[in-house]
Structure 1
Amino acid sequence: MAFKGTENYIASEELQLAVNAAVQLQRPLLVKGEPGTGKTQLAEEIAQAMDAPLIQWHIKSTTKAQQGLYEYDAVSRLRDSQLGDDRVHDIGNYIKRGKLWEAFASEKRAVLLIDEIDKADIEFPNDLLVELDRMEFHVYETGETIRAENRPIVIITSNNEKELPDAFLRRCFFHYINFPDYDTLKAIVDVHHPGVQTELVRNALEIFFDIREVRGLKKRPSTSELIDWLKLLVSDELSADQLRDGEFKQALPPLFGALIKNEQDVHLLERLAFMSRRKDG
């Protein structure tokens, strides 16, 4: 079954091709792009479109590759042995399955999301090379080998915080999600906010893109922040005229806290608005 996006997710033709190519090649799909461009949501929508269980592994700076396979709780076993618990005779009682194990053991073909892999230690991707390539791993404590009953669809996201090893990249199909253009972004807005006044959406998008083009911004607003901003504009019943009159070149747009997330960028836009007023005056 080919992935073509969903009712809630506008996937470009290039992204659709990348997803389907990765599935066909049985390779992990490595997805990069600006924060807020829908990398994590992509895995959720693929699972929905293919009626597959979604298994999510959100990576932190302290995450180790072994945790994705399994963890052996030796401390609990020692404690139980001291208490005379019969569970201690079966070491399997102290093996905690990781997300890869869950995906490998799934009765239906699963979608496995390894989210923000670049947050982990630089050796983390290399430590998963064999397991993701062969779709199996060994549990040393029990002597069993865990093999994927149904090879999962693996989606890996990265925000480019660290360079990923070449050996890992060679095993992935890569796709970079470009920031949506005006028409694509309007289609995304229509999905999340159907029926919103056309002129309000047009004015909001113009301001949004104007802000993104400001030089020196520490963090440009993302798609998800635009969706939140529009939700607030609609709930506050702001008209298209009110939004246009608050164009950031003359003053910061209403409810700008949904778009601008740090004080440096607020001060930058305030300076630009001040300089624009002086020039017009």
Structure 2
Amino acid sequence: MKFKGTDKYVATDDLQMAVNASVALQRPLLIKGEPGTGKTLLAEEVAASLGMRLIQWHVKSTTKAQQGLYEYDAVSRLRDSQLGDDKVHDINNYIRQGKLWQAFQSDEQVVLLIDEVDKADIEFPNDLLVELDKMEFFVYETGETVKAKHRPIIIITSNNEKELPDAFLRRCFFHFINFPDRDTMKQIIDVHYPNIQLNLVNEALDIFFEVREINGLRKKPSTSELIDWLKLLMADDIPDEILKNRDNSKAIPPLYGALLKNEQDVHMLERLAFMHRREQR
């Protein structure tokens, strides 16, 4: 089976090749790119395309690698022991399987998403090296070794918040999702809004890429924000003439709250508008 994108996800040829290469090599696929470029959605669509179940592990700043394997609840076992509960005699009652354990023990091959791996501590990737490489881990409390019945397709996403260890990178197939060009962006819009007016798309894209090209923005608008903005433009029934004939001296696009996410960027566009007005005098 080959991943070729889906009706809901526009995958470039390079991205399709990266997914299929990682499957062929049986290595985790490490995906980087700007926030909002569809890294997490990729795992969902790969699973849908290949007809596999998706197991998602969303990493947080407090997440530890051990949690992906299993967690042993010694406190609950101690409490049950004091209460005389019979289940205390079976330690398995106090072991909670993590996402990797679930993926390893699945009776069929699954897609495992390790989302935003760079949010965790710098040692987090290193702590998973052996498990991802050998597809097994040891449970100290029971003395058993958990081995993968079927090697899962592993997709790991990163927003480049911190550098990942070289030893971890060596075990992955890497792909950087470049920001979509105008033609690819039109295809993405067509997937979400197949009946949208072409003129509205063209005028909205002009403004969108114009805003992205402004130097000094703290948060450039992403693909997901463009999709939200278009949804608002259609909901408010804003004609494309308003975008086309927009007064450049105002600079701020209509419904800008869907595109700009902090006051510094809004103030920057306001300053640019002020400078434009002065030049026109």
TM-score w.r.t. the length of structure 2 is: 0.98
Runs of 5+ consecutive residues of structure 1 not aligned to the other structure: none
Q: Give the CA deviation at 1:248.
A: 5.4
Structure 1 CA distance for aligned equivalents of residues 116 and 176 of structure 2: 14
- Aligned amino acid, residue 135 of structure 1: M
- Which residue pairs with 1:91 in the alignment? 91
Aligned pairs for 1:229-268 (under 5 A) are: 229-246=229-246, 250-268=250-268
Supply the distance in 1 between the matched residues of 2:257 and 2:280 (Cα, whole angstroms). Answer: 26
In the other structure, the counterpart of 1:128 is: 128
Partner Cα separation in structure 2 for residue 44 and residue 86 of structure 1: 41
- Cα gap change, 1:257/1:145 in structure 2, threshold over 3 Å: closer, same or farther? same
CA shift, 1:247, in A, is 5.6
Partner AA of 1:33 in structure 2: G
- Aligned residue for 1:128, secondary structure, equals helix
- What is the deviation of 1:251? 3.0
In the alignment, the residues of structure 1 paired with residue 83 and residue 249 of structure 2 have an alpha-carbon distance, to the nearest angstrom, of: 71
What is the distance in 1 between the residues matched to 2:277 and 2:6?
45
State how far apart, in whole Å, the 2-side matches of 1:3 and 1:256 are. 36
User: What secondary structure does 2:31 align onto?
Assistant: strand
How do 1:123-272 and structure 2 match up within 5 A? 123-246=123-246, 250-272=250-272
- TM-superposed deviation, 1:278: 2.5
2 CA distance for matches of 1:159 and 1:90?
42
Letter in 2 for 1:82: Q
Q: What TM-score comes out, normalization by structure 1 length? A: 0.98
Secondary structure in 1 matching 2:125: helix
Q: Distance in 2 between matches of 1:69 and 1:168?
A: 17
Show CA shifts across 1:125-150 (max 9, x none). 01000000010111110111111111
Equivalenced residues, count: 281
Matching residue's letter, 1:102: Q
Cα deviation for residue 106 of structure 1 reads 1.1
Matched, 1:274 2:274: yes
Shift of 1:245: 2.7
Contact kept in structure 2, 1:118 and 1:163, CA below 8 Å: yes
**1:42-121 matched pairs, under 5 angstroms:** 42-121=42-121
Letter in 2 for 1:40: T
Give the CA deviation at 1:244. 2.0
How far apart, in 1, do the equivalents of 2:275 and 2:191 lie? 37
**What does the per-residue CA deviation read over 1:44-89, in whole Å, with 9 as the maximum and x for residues that have no partner?**
0000001101000011111000000000000000000000000100
How far apart are the structure 2 equivalents of 1:46 and 1:259? 28
Structure 2 letter corresponding to 1:109:
Q
Separation in structure 2 between the aligned mates of residue 226 and residue 247 of structure 1, nearest angstrom: 20
- Cα offset, 1:274, TM superposition: 1.8
- Aligned equivalent of 1:40: 40
Give the secondary structure class of the aligned counterpart of 2:67.
Answer: helix
Q: Which runs of 5+ in 2 are unaligned?
A: none
Q: Distance in 2 between matches of 1:131 and 1:250?
A: 55
Percentage identity across aligned positions?
72
Secondary structure in 2 matching 1:221: coil
Distance change (3 Å), C-alpha of 1:78 and 1:268: same
